[in-house]
Amino acid sequence: MTIDEAKQRIEAMQQYIEMIENYIPENYTQEVMKLYVELESVTKVAVILNDKGYKIGSRKVIGKDVSDLIRSKVTDDMHQMAKDLLKRNIKRSSGRGWG
Protein backbone atom coordinates (compact mmCIF):
# COMPACT_ATOMS: atom_id res chain seq x y z
CA MET A 1 0.00 0.00 0.00
CA THR A 2 1.31 3.42 -0.89
CA ILE A 3 1.20 6.42 1.41
CA ASP A 4 -1.44 8.02 -0.82
CA GLU A 5 -3.59 4.88 -0.65
CA ALA A 6 -3.25 4.82 3.13
CA LYS A 7 -4.24 8.49 3.34
CA GLN A 8 -7.31 7.80 1.18
CA ARG A 9 -8.35 4.93 3.44
CA ILE A 10 -7.90 7.06 6.55
CA GLU A 11 -9.96 9.86 5.00
CA ALA A 12 -12.71 7.39 4.05
CA MET A 13 -12.78 6.02 7.60
CA GLN A 14 -12.94 9.53 9.05
CA GLN A 15 -15.90 10.32 6.79
CA TYR A 16 -17.57 7.06 7.85
CA ILE A 17 -17.11 7.88 11.56
CA GLU A 18 -18.38 11.41 11.06
CA MET A 19 -21.46 10.19 9.18
CA ILE A 20 -22.34 7.68 11.91
CA GLU A 21 -21.77 10.12 14.76
CA ASN A 22 -23.79 12.92 13.15
CA TYR A 23 -26.68 10.85 11.78
CA ILE A 24 -29.81 11.21 13.89
CA PRO A 25 -32.55 8.80 12.81
CA GLU A 26 -35.95 10.47 12.53
CA ASN A 27 -38.02 7.38 11.69
CA TYR A 28 -38.03 3.58 11.69
CA THR A 29 -36.31 3.27 8.30
CA GLN A 30 -33.47 5.57 9.31
CA GLU A 31 -33.10 3.72 12.62
CA VAL A 32 -32.74 0.44 10.71
CA MET A 33 -30.14 1.88 8.33
CA LYS A 34 -27.97 3.37 11.06
CA LEU A 35 -28.07 0.21 13.15
CA TYR A 36 -27.19 -1.97 10.17
CA VAL A 37 -24.26 0.24 9.16
CA GLU A 38 -22.97 0.06 12.73
CA LEU A 39 -23.55 -3.67 13.33
CA GLU A 40 -23.62 -5.26 9.85
CA SER A 41 -26.02 -7.93 11.13
CA VAL A 42 -29.72 -8.06 10.27
CA THR A 43 -30.29 -10.39 13.23
CA LYS A 44 -28.67 -8.01 15.72
CA VAL A 45 -30.62 -5.07 14.26
CA ALA A 46 -33.90 -7.02 14.62
CA VAL A 47 -33.11 -7.82 18.27
CA ILE A 48 -32.40 -4.16 19.06
CA LEU A 49 -35.55 -2.99 17.26
CA ASN A 50 -37.61 -5.52 19.22
CA ASP A 51 -35.99 -4.33 22.46
CA LYS A 52 -37.06 -0.80 21.52
CA GLY A 53 -40.63 -1.99 21.03
CA TYR A 54 -40.88 -1.86 17.24
CA LYS A 55 -43.34 -4.26 15.61
CA ILE A 56 -44.37 -5.23 12.09
CA GLY A 57 -48.11 -5.30 12.47
CA SER A 58 -48.57 -7.30 15.65
CA ARG A 59 -45.42 -9.43 15.39
CA LYS A 60 -41.80 -8.89 16.28
CA VAL A 61 -39.27 -7.67 13.73
CA ILE A 62 -37.21 -10.42 12.12
CA GLY A 63 -33.99 -10.31 10.10
CA LYS A 64 -35.86 -10.65 6.81
CA ASP A 65 -37.83 -7.47 7.60
CA VAL A 66 -34.54 -5.65 8.09
CA SER A 67 -32.93 -6.96 4.92
CA ASP A 68 -36.07 -6.28 2.85
CA LEU A 69 -36.12 -2.69 4.06
CA ILE A 70 -32.43 -2.23 3.30
CA ARG A 71 -32.99 -3.60 -0.23
CA SER A 72 -35.83 -1.11 -0.84
CA LYS A 73 -35.47 2.17 -2.74
CA VAL A 74 -32.63 4.22 -1.29
CA THR A 75 -33.79 7.22 0.76
CA ASP A 76 -30.49 8.83 1.83
CA ASP A 77 -26.71 8.33 2.07
CA MET A 78 -26.98 6.11 5.16
CA HIS A 79 -29.47 3.88 3.35
CA GLN A 80 -27.09 3.61 0.38
CA MET A 81 -24.26 2.67 2.71
CA ALA A 82 -26.43 0.02 4.39
CA LYS A 83 -27.46 -1.38 1.01
CA ASP A 84 -23.85 -1.56 -0.18
CA LEU A 85 -22.77 -3.29 3.05
CA LEU A 86 -25.61 -5.80 2.86
CA LYS A 87 -24.75 -6.64 -0.72
CA ARG A 88 -21.07 -7.07 0.18
CA ASN A 89 -21.87 -9.20 3.22
CA ILE A 90 -24.21 -11.45 1.25
CA LYS A 91 -21.57 -11.95 -1.45
CA ARG A 92 -18.94 -12.72 1.17
CA SER A 93 -21.08 -15.23 3.07
CA SER A 94 -22.57 -17.05 0.09
CA GLY A 95 -20.00 -16.61 -2.61
CA ARG A 96 -22.61 -14.99 -4.81
CA GLY A 97 -24.61 -11.78 -4.98
CA TRP A 98 -28.26 -10.83 -5.20
CA GLY A 99 -30.02 -8.98 -7.96
Q: Is the pLDDT of residue 12 over 70?
A: yes
Count of C-beta atoms within a 10 Å radius of residue 95: 7
Read out DSSP for 38-64?
HH--HHHHHHHHHHTT-EETTEE--HH
pTM score: 0.84
37-78 residue pLDDT tens = 999 999 999 999 999 999 999 999 999 999 999 999 999 999
Q: Is the pLDDT of residue 97 over 70?
A: no
